Structure 1
Amino acid sequence: MVQAANTVTAVRTIGAVTVAIAAVATRDPVLAVAAYLVYWVGDMLDGWTARRMNQETRLGAVFDILADRLCCVLCIIPLLQVRPGMVAPVAVFLLQFVVVDLVLSLSFLRFGLLSPNYFFHVHHGVFRWNWSPAAKATNTSALVLLVLLVPSPWPPLALALAVVVIKVVSLVVVRRLVPVRRNGAES
């Protein structure tokens, strides 16, 4: 059975990628912003759909996390075309989001959780800084808005570096936590 939430994830990913590719091809900043909007709205909608329809699964959470990385990487390319002076903050952000945050986001699997949205059961601080509604709303959007609206690369670079620190500290905390054990093996 195809789950509605996973269908929303697939559709929002295809939509965001398509609009991002069109933005790259045309160098159109409006399409670049539209690509991010498709990604962000779709990302909120797939999570909402999963919870409303009681379709949350670990596989769906992993699919969503991986789709987020694909969308973000492709959506940021046209922003760099429009704002090439922002390559340093974007590079730091991408390294953080595609590598560090990916490992952190998938750490929910070690604790038998359904998704990172339930990490508050494991550690309140890590949840608050990474997956609370406020953290999720600002993790990507704040950097993208700074890249688009601020003339200097320094404020977005400072934000990107601060987020790296938060993510690395969160990873250290998570690594030190005792995972859930099933049949004598770490999950």
Structure 2
Amino acid sequence: MTLVEARPAVHVGPFLTVPNGITVVRTVAAVTAGLAALVAGSMTLLVVAYGIYWLGDMLDGLAARRLGQETRAGAVLDIVSDRACTAVLCVGLIALVPGVAVVASVFLPSFMVLDTMLSLAFLCWPVISPNDFHVVDRRVWVLNWSPVAKAVNTAGVVGAVALGQYRVALAVAIAVLVVKLWSAVRVAGLLRRDGRA
């Protein structure tokens, strides 16, 4: 008797790809720079760390598309790596700018838990990554993984903080949280609808 249900295997793709290499390098570099910023109390190093993270995040996605190396394994690696970078950089930001703690208390759990679960939900359907979730549900995709949604999700909050607009950052973080909660309820419904719950 087998404990694993017999289903066709889902191809996850190779692990050793150029985009995955970029993801690993940008994660190690951003986390290292973020930790160095924390130890040194350096806002300049923290800005460099955020730059490495965002530039690398754009480059790995661009490389995946241009080289035809988009894979499910790469999508999961990217999602996990984003959380590693965000956790370290957010802690560094709180340490260097204590006034952002309230914003971080809304943003960090929303991104680390709720957004992670939403981002990994693509694994329940035969799509390569959250970038393809429009095939499953266009509204959820538009609100979470369209280019505009991706920018607002993290950069909107961090950008407002960088400009010293903590109330704006908090408002954006709360709005993103509400969108994530709505999306989670919708995805739960989609899972039931498609018999994947």
The one-letter amino acid paired with 2:171 is A
Q: Which residue of 2 aligns with 1:160?
A: 173
In 1, the alpha carbon distance for the partners of 2:59 and 2:122 equals 21
Matched, 1:148 2:186: no
Q: Which residue of 1 aligns with 2:108?
A: 94
Q: Which residue of 2 aligns with 1:24?
A: 38
Structure 1: unaligned runs, 5 residues or longer: none
| Contact 1:79–1:148 under 8 Å retained in 2 | no
The one-letter amino acid paired with 2:87 is V
Q: Which residue of 1 aligns with 2:19?
A: 5
Q: CA deviation at 1:180?
A: 9.2
Q: Deviations for 1:61-98, whole angstroms, at most 9, x for unmatched residues?
A: 00100000000111112211221011011111000000
- Aligned counterpart in structure 2 of residue 59 of structure 1, from 73, 77, 81: 73
Q: Please list every run of at least 4 consecutive aligned residues from structure 1 whose deviation after the TM superposition is greater than 3 angstroms.
A: 178-181
The one-letter amino acid paired with 2:58 is M
What is the SS of the residue equivalent to 1:54?
coil
In 2, the alpha carbon distance for the partners of 1:180 and 1:47 equals 30
What is the SS of the residue equivalent to 2:28?
helix
What is the SS of the residue equivalent to 2:29?
helix
In 2, the alpha carbon distance for the partners of 1:47 and 1:145 equals 21
| Contact 1:111–1:179 under 8 Å retained in 2 | no
What is the SS of the residue equivalent to 1:114?
coil
Q: CA deviation at 1:178?
A: 4.3
Q: CA deviation at 1:111?
A: 1.3
Matched, 1:172 2:182: no
- Backbone CA RMSD of aligned residues: 1.7
In 1, the alpha carbon distance for the partners of 2:146 and 2:24 equals 24
Q: Which residue of 2 aligns with 1:186?
A: 196
Q: Which residue of 2 aligns with 1:137?
A: 151
| Contact 2:41–2:96 under 8 Å retained in 1 | yes
Matched, 1:83 2:97: yes
Q: CA deviation at 1:179?
A: 6.7
Q: CA deviation at 1:125?
A: 1.0
The one-letter amino acid paired with 2:97 is R
The one-letter amino acid paired with 2:186 is V
Percent identity between matched residues is 44
TM-score (norm 2): 0.87
In 2, the alpha carbon distance for the partners of 1:10 and 1:54 equals 18
| Contact 1:83–1:148 under 8 Å retained in 2 | no
What is the SS of the residue equivalent to 1:140?
helix
| Contact 1:5–1:49 under 8 Å retained in 2 | yes
Distance 1:114-1:180 versus aligned 2 partners, 3 A rule: farther
Structure 2: unaligned runs, 5 residues or longer: 1-13
In 1, the alpha carbon distance for the partners of 2:153 and 2:163 equals 17
| Contact 2:34–2:49 under 8 Å retained in 1 | yes
Name which one, 1 or 2, has greater alpha-carbon Rg. 2
- Aligned counterpart in structure 2 of residue 121 of structure 1, from 104, 129, 135: 135
